[in-house]
Structure 1
Amino acid sequence: MPPNLFDQWASAAPATAPVTAPDGPTGEEAPAASPAPEHGPATPAIVRRALQELLKNGLLELSAKPHLFRQIATDTARANALLEPLDLRVLVDDHRGLAYVAVAASYQSENTGEDEDDWTHPLVRRQRLTLEQSLLLAILRREFLQREQEGGLGVPVQLAIDSLLPQLGIYLGHTGSDMQERKRLLTLLEHLRGHGVVSDVDAQERITIRPMIVHLANPENLQALLQRLRELASNPEGGA
């Protein structure tokens, strides 16, 4: 069975040069040095599990995987050493119980032209959002931060679907059909769910906003988006 990828990274060591000794009285060469072990100590199983889960989903939440999250949070230096050959790193938000993968600051893309627009890293696909998805993301992020200020960090933030419909309608306009507007909202939420920022809609017609939403988008960009949408809403003919 081939060695585990993480074990290879952890145990990588420079090869030692062969050792020779002067010829003895009989002219015989000294015995060859014993070969060094092919692999050093294995990466602990819990570290491998935590990193594999982190790479699979892009994030780890304390509420969902407490044991694996704590392993990453307490051994971040080891995790980053293992991710370094991939030009990735792990960031930990202890206050919200979140660890997530990010591209290392030292990474330099070799792509040019059209490829550079589609890829920021060979292992990380750039996630593009439509205007409507970006708008809903901004609304949800604002709601999340407001609830955090009221209830404190780490408190689950839940919203009723019906409470989002009027806010979305302010910027996107009303279609005149409640069913159509609700379907539009559910479609947008389903797409954002794939980015790890919201949960499924539960039986009470609510969603849980997940802490990753704080780190997904730049606050300045979201504020500029909202300002632009307000301008378009107040002066539809002036927008282009």
Structure 2
Amino acid sequence: MTDTSNASTAPAHVADATKFIAIDGPAGSGKSSVSKAVARTLGFGYLDTGSAYRALAWHVLDRGADTSDPEAVRAAASDFPVRLGLDPDDRTVRVGDTDITEGIRDSRVSAAVSGVARVPEVRAQVNELFRALVAESAYPAVVVEGRDITTVVAPDAPVRILLTAAPEVRAARRAGELAGENAAAVAAALHKRDASDSAVVDFLNAADGVEVVDSTELDFPQTIDAVLTVIERIQGAHRG
């Protein structure tokens, strides 16, 4: 990755912002599954930005370093040959020649992601990676989902959506995804993660100009339709 250690973490204008469909939201809001479905429906690419941070956490751990040590994280980020596919049906993640698509979902990696994502210089580097991936993509647009896509990565994107849901609904959905997990423990973990990550970026409140889609009372197909409706309305207005 290119060294942008002196880069600001403030929102930056993105030359190819029109290729972004920016979707933010907290854990359990459904943003990954909904974003993939939206990308498939529209024939767009899909970028799960969280997988890049997971890949970097895996990379730090693979080097035998401590993800809570900012210097170790910066060193790993300076030599981070990550490759992320944009096909919504092929979510392969590689670091160098190593396929870590499954490895980044390991509980050890999950526990280390927040430490990696809290380093400002690293976030700046990873954000530049996202912008380059979208700009160089052959897709007409890319659905990019994460925590700060609408505010930092692509604040100029014409379509910016905050996908959210009530905390208890998000916890119930995540518990359903994790078979055998205790619902109360999942809720506590979600609350802890939200508290930790929101100290870095506000993904619980919509910034000016960001459309809110609240899926608390919606099922999966209804949520997809709600997001598609926002995209079609905004793109139609821009074409008009």
Q: Identify whether the pair has TM-score above 0.5, normalized to the shorter chain.
A: no
TM-score, normalized by length of structure 1?
0.25
Asked which structure has the greater RCO (Cα within 8 Å, sep 6+), the reply is 2
TM-score, normalized by length of structure 2?
0.25
Structure with higher Rg: it is 1
